[in-house]
Amino acid sequence: MGIEQFTFSCDGFRSWESAFAGQKMIFAPQKSVIRSNADDRMDGRVQVRWYFPPDNDPIPNATLEFQNGVLTVVDSDSAIPTQHLTNTAVIPGLVNAHTHLELSDLSEPLPFTGSFPDWIREVVRHRRERKQSPNEALMQGLREIVETGTVAVGDIEQVGDEDHPVDQSLRVAPRRLGFREIICLNPDDGQKKIEAALAAECEEKIQLGLSPHAPYSVHLEVVQKIVDEAIRRSVPVAMHLAETRAELELLQTGSGELATFLKSLGIWRDDLFRPGTRPLDYLRILSRAPRALVIHGNYLDDEDVDFLAGNPQMSVVYCPRTHACFDHQTHPWLQMMNRGVNVALGTDSRASNPDLNVWNEVLFLRERFSDVCPKALLQLATINGQKALGFVRASNSTDWTFIELHETASEASAAKRPWEELFHRDSRPVGSTVSRR
Ligand SMILES: [Zn+2]
């Protein structure tokens, strides 16, 4: 097992150049750099200002040895060449547990004017009218993921996206779990849609999952069939659930703005939603899957959270800035964490977020929830995401992200306040290592 690649932005290039001397470098398009040596090993020794182990307190001035993909804290030994990175912290690898890379060509979020169906219409219009192919947009998103130090991503894939040759230099980065999206309100078409979603070629480097899109776009019976298929194939599922008040109304009463939306598309039938249906009905079905990611869960109630707490194979992916973009009620992520639910972070797509940088989600939460334990906050964006996507590794051989700390911190204050320095608004990810599977 060696470290397969090492990526960082141009800004961080000089300081890293001599850290792992003698290794082949591949310059990917735009700003990211991927390097590995001839036999795919990445060995070296660095001293960093802070090392944040996955399950322990931060260690100041840590000397870290990367050998065969395993990171070890070692005693500083002047006889061994060590690269000193005085302004850098090493944290467990950042994970973006939910996004839609095929929408990464958007330069800014699509406007939300108070109506969720209107926002969906904007997304559909963008897909129809854009000049770039979905695959070009996907590659643009992947580059952004790499450049922001993210080691793994849960991506919702639309079938037919792979219609152009892709940039081989980004094939290896980051770890990707591609959830094939299924939209189907007609139970009779369910199996056909599932087979179509699975028929598309799967890249060797991408792990496969299935995604019934959302309760308003996939019939409950089709969700059941998708979960049956996920069980047969031992793959995870991801579903947008309890995202809006309109969704709850649709499930409960078969009315509201989403019902009007489906009628306007000509796909409404009176028997689509059994009166009194709740998100819990979907949670029960999803819980049968080997692993399930509940995307958003903005309006899950106490009973739902209790159910999730009793099903450790399920995770909730909270997308903080996207949540803020839609003016929802307060997200129950703290309540979920307190009850032991695995909560991971996602950016969602650029249709509802200005970027795909999951570190910005952490800083966003830190600013608004300064009393939350900082270690727990870091876990949301790292270890919890790895667990949600199934990329969990032994603690010392996990993937790592390098954070460039803001320059004004004095050595004295930094030694006392690792978390303040890490979560400073100017601290930013500059690189990552991804171990070979
Ligand atoms: Zn989404």
Q: Tell me how far the alpha carbon of residue 187 lies from the centroid of ligand 1, in angstroms.
A: 23
pLDDT of residue 146: 83
Can you tell me whether residue 423 is helix, strand or coil? coil
- The domain defined by 95-389 folds into TIM Barrel (3.20.20)
CATH 2.30.40 at 3-93+398-435, yes or no? yes
CA dihedral 423, 429, 431, 437 (to 10 degrees): 70
Annotate 360-374 with b (16+ C-beta within 10 A) or e (fewer).
bbbbebbeeeeeeeb
Q: Ligand 1 center to residue 394 CA distance, Å?
A: 29
**From ligand 1's centre to the CA of 348, what distance in Å?**
5
Per DSSP, the three-state class of 182 is: strand
Cα of 212 from ligand 1 centre, angstroms = 11
Separation of CA 99 and ligand 1 centre (Å): 6
The pLDDT assigned to 113 comes to 93
pLDDT at 79: 77
pLDDT of amino acid 207 = 86
How many angstroms separate the alpha carbon of residue 390 from the centre of ligand 1?
A: 19
Ligand 1 centroid to Cα of residue 246, in Å, is: 16
Query: How much distance in Å is there from the Cα of 239 to the middle of ligand 1?
Result: 8
End-to-end CA distance of the chain: 7
The residue written with tokens 């060590």 in the block is: 82
pLDDT of residue 431: 81
Mapping DSSP to helix (H, G, I), strand (E, B) and coil, where does residue 224 land? helix
pLDDT at 23: 36
Given CA atoms 133, 136, 141, 142 in this order, what sign does their dihedral have? positive
Q: Which residues pair with 8 in a beta bridge?
A: 33, 431
C-alpha of residue 35 to centroid of ligand 1, in Å: 32
pLDDT value for 407? 67
Residue 161, pLDDT score: 44
Helical (H) or strand (E) element with 227: helix 220-233
Q: Name the token pair of 96.
A: 């973006």
Give me ligand 1 centre to Cα 366, in Å.
23
| CB distance 27 to 5 below 8 Å | no
Q: Where are the domains of the chain?
A: 3-93+398-435, 95-389
HEC readout, 65-110:
EEECCEEEEECCCCCCCCEEEEEEEEEECEEEEEECHHHCCCCCCC
Distance 205 CA to ligand 1 centre (A): 22
397 Cα–ligand 1 center, Å: 30
**Spacing, Cα 176 to ligand 1 middle (Å):** 16
Calculate how far, in angstroms, residue 352's C-alpha sits from the geometric centre of ligand 1.
9
**3-class SS of residue 430:** strand
pLDDT of residue 252: 97
Which pLDDT belongs to residue 10? 37
37 alpha carbon to ligand 1 midpoint, in Å?
Answer: 37
Tens digit of pLDDT per residue, the chain (437 long)?
334 444 444 343 333 433 333 333 333 322 333 344 444 445 678 888 999 998 889 999 999 887 765 778 888 777 777 778 888 899 999 999 999 999 999 999 999 999 999 999 999 999 999 988 888 888 889 888 988 889 899 999 987 544 444 454 455 567 889 999 999 999 999 999 999 888 876 665 678 999 999 999 999 999 999 999 999 999 999 999 999 999 999 999 999 999 999 999 999 999 999 999 999 999 999 999 999 999 999 999 999 999 999 999 999 999 999 999 998 999 999 999 999 999 999 999 999 999 999 999 999 999 999 999 999 999 999 999 999 999 876 666 668 898 999 765 555 555 568 999 999 999 999 888 776 54
In whole angstroms, how far apart are CA 358 and each of 92, 231, 364, 385? 13, 30, 10, 11
Sign of the CA dihedral with 157 first, then 159, 161, and 165 last = positive
